[in-house]
Chains A and B, each alone.
Chain A
């Protein structure tokens, strides 16, 4: 039995590494392909939405046009978020009408499917003594507001479910010239957060119970750059065992994805199988199984809970602070990247593929 284990274990670990790679790469590919399905209503429907939105706003009469912090009102007709949200001299409101039950609604699990009902979101502004309908945004809910010191300075994030495990994340920034909200198109398929000069996207609505993934891009004054890194872990299973890191080799400019799987069944995890795949991350025709796998074994000098973060910093050259979020849905927006204390230097012994040794034993 022991012999069998010894024989099969390497194959199992390669399979696991392949599984992780196969998970991350298709996600990357999908991430670039998913266009937003904007549900822009026809002119007649738009007229009704405008009328309903202004009707919902009837009880809100701002007593002054400045010093209005964000407030939220929820009534049977829907939700309103209002205040000096973007411009300190103008009171504006985002009006999210109550969801409309579709005629062909699924009769079974009502609670779950209510989340997929259409909720029209519009942007209105207070002018002198009345509300003006400025802009229809989309079918969206779950609004969040974020402010930045750089430009653009104000963001609105929202989302919509389109199925049990499907949905879109949406976001807009405020354009002071047009006084309208403009779609950022930053989200590939999940939510994102801005931290310093980095834009980090997270997983969306798909049914994945154990995975946590962060895609890291450079960000500069409203512009999203090319992918810098991907961090993946199975922390959602309750304990971080397997993790993978995608990064760009600074010498060659090529992307690599490294998958780490501990050899030990239980903690402490001191020995890892490292499966590395070289490849251009956005080649849509490339299948992970056709890639060349490079393998190595990594030994960690002592038990350390931050092996994944240590490897992330070493391989990507980025601070682990970019991964700073509480969970997949609770991103932390920050104007500057927090300065974290340096990680304890772990001694790594790496044997195997020379490229892996080069990357890990710097």
Chain B
């Protein structure tokens, strides 16, 4: 149901500039400020795949091949009042056509930090790998539902305009491979964070899994993961609770609770235990990622809500490796469903 309105929004968005209230377009200074920021920029080929940032006191822009094709565009956010840093910024699209042309007022976004440094709270352009589709994602506060009209936009290469994605406004989206992860708070302002991972083929599809994690006493991880049964469509839930360490550095032990109900959860009852054994000591989060991957086949970047492009960049720089670590073996004791789901190597 939640995505039934998507085609309608897309249809409304087809005209690009008409997707939001036209009022800000009347404000000449927004257009002037956006044009002024870009006035010294004359793109020379070849234009890099990476976006170029420009900023002055009032405006911030990302420009480059934002549609994935040869068209060069600039997304400029303009603070309506330089004296009020807290107020929303206006996001505008400029296209390069032997000069910058004002093409579209896109919507309201979080004001990009006017200092030279990046801020995680500001809007950004994200690229889906390998399709090369670009999305604009506004900054997101997990503790508050966005009050803005739209939260994310698709950079449409056919119309060279931006259109709202229609994705939920209460969740931070990230696309990894053929999945899209929506990260939100279970209840506004409260933990735990919930990760809903859907299939993605240009638009969000069926839910693959939804999980949340909390921590029990002693900083022990507790995961609840709900997965639809491929045959019946009914959901089943695994709850995975980390057991206290026994000073064995190469082992992570978990208690498992299996439930076919997809509603109010029964009290935790141990159906099985799993002992994940590593060749060398790893963090328990590696074991959790492995268990989620065994259940769903979802890679760690999607589990954690990262964009593939970011992971590729970080991996290339040697900063991060988000491959799911595979243990030497697992020992599963308990119900057959648990043995089937978590036995490793699979043949054992």
Contact = CB atoms under 8 A, between A and B. Distances in A.
Say whether A associates with B: yes
A73 B52 contact: yes
Contact of B50 (A59, A73, A75, A143): A75
Nearest to A107: B318
Nearest to A126: B40
Interface stretch (A37-45, A61-69, A214-222, A336-344): A61-69
Contacts of B53: 72-75
Contacts of A63: 39-40
Contacts of B41: 59-61, 73
Contacts of A79: 116
A143 B116 CA distance: 9
Interface string A142-171: 010000000000000000000000000000
Contacts of B37: 71
B319 interface: yes
Contacts of B56: 69-72
Contact of B55 (A58, A60, A68, A71): A71
Contacts of B54: 71-74
A110 interface: yes
B42 interface: yes
Interface in A48-87: 58-63, 68-76, 79, 82
Interface string B308-319: 000000000111
A111 interface: yes
A74 B54 CA distance: 6
Nearest to A67: B36
Contacts of B317: 110
B48 A68 contact: no
Nearest to A144: B116
A241 to B, nearest CB: 33
B57 interface: yes
B219 interface: no
B55 A59 contact: no
A60 B40 contact: yes
Given A69-B57, A70-B56, A110-B318, A75 B48 contact: yes
B43 interface: yes
A38 to B, nearest CB: 24
B246 interface: no
Contacts of B50: 75-76
Contacts of B57: 69-70
A71 B48 contact: no
A219 to B, nearest CB: 26
Interface string A73-103: 1111001001000000000000000000000
Contacts, number: 52
Interface residues of B, number: 19
A143 B57 CA distance: 15
* A interface: dominant SS: mixed
Which of A59, A68, A69 counts the most B-chain CB atoms under 10 A from its CB? A59
In the complex, which range does the number of interface residues on chain A fall in?
20 to 34
B319 A72 contact: no
Contacts of B48: 75-76
Nearest to A63: B39
B52 A75 contact: yes
A74 B53 CA distance: 5
B52 A82 contact: no
A88 B18 CA distance: 41
B44 interface: yes
A277 to B, nearest CB: 41
Contacts of B44: 58-59
Interface string B53-73: 111110000000000000000
A91 B150 CA distance: 39
A60 B37 CA distance: 11
Give the residue among B40, B43, B116 with the most A Cβ atoms within 10 A.
B40
A91 to B, nearest CB: 8
Interface in B106-153: 116
Contacts of B55: 71-72
Nearest to A111: B319
Contacts of B43: 59
A110 B320 CA distance: 10
A59 B319 CA distance: 30
B59 to A, nearest CB: 9
B42 A110 contact: no
Interface in B172-228: none
A61 B52 contact: no
Nearest to B118: A74
A314 B54 CA distance: 48
Contacts of A58: 44
A76 B316 CA distance: 14
Nearest to A143: B116
Identify the interface centre among A59, A71, A72, A79: most chain B CB within 10 Å of its CB: A71
A61 B319 contact: no
A73 B319 CA distance: 25
Contacts of B42: 59-61
Contact of B40 (A71, A74, A75, A111): A71
Nearest to A76: B50
B39 to A, nearest CB: 5
Given A73-B41, A75-B52, A110-B318, 17 more contacts: A59-B41, A59-B42, A60-B41, A62-B40, A63-B39, A68-B40, A69-B56, A71-B40, A71-B54, A72-B116, A74-B52, A74-B53, A74-B54, A75-B50, A76-B50, A107-B318, A143-B116
Interface of B: 37, 39-44, 48, 50, 52-57, 116, 317-319
14 contacts: A58-B44, A59-B42, A63-B40, A69-B56, A71-B37, A71-B40, A73-B52, A73-B53, A73-B54, A74-B53, A76-B48, A110-B318, A111-B319, A143-B116
For the complex of A and B, 6 pairs with smallest distance between CB atoms: A75-B52, A61-B42, A74-B53, A71-B56, A76-B50, A62-B40
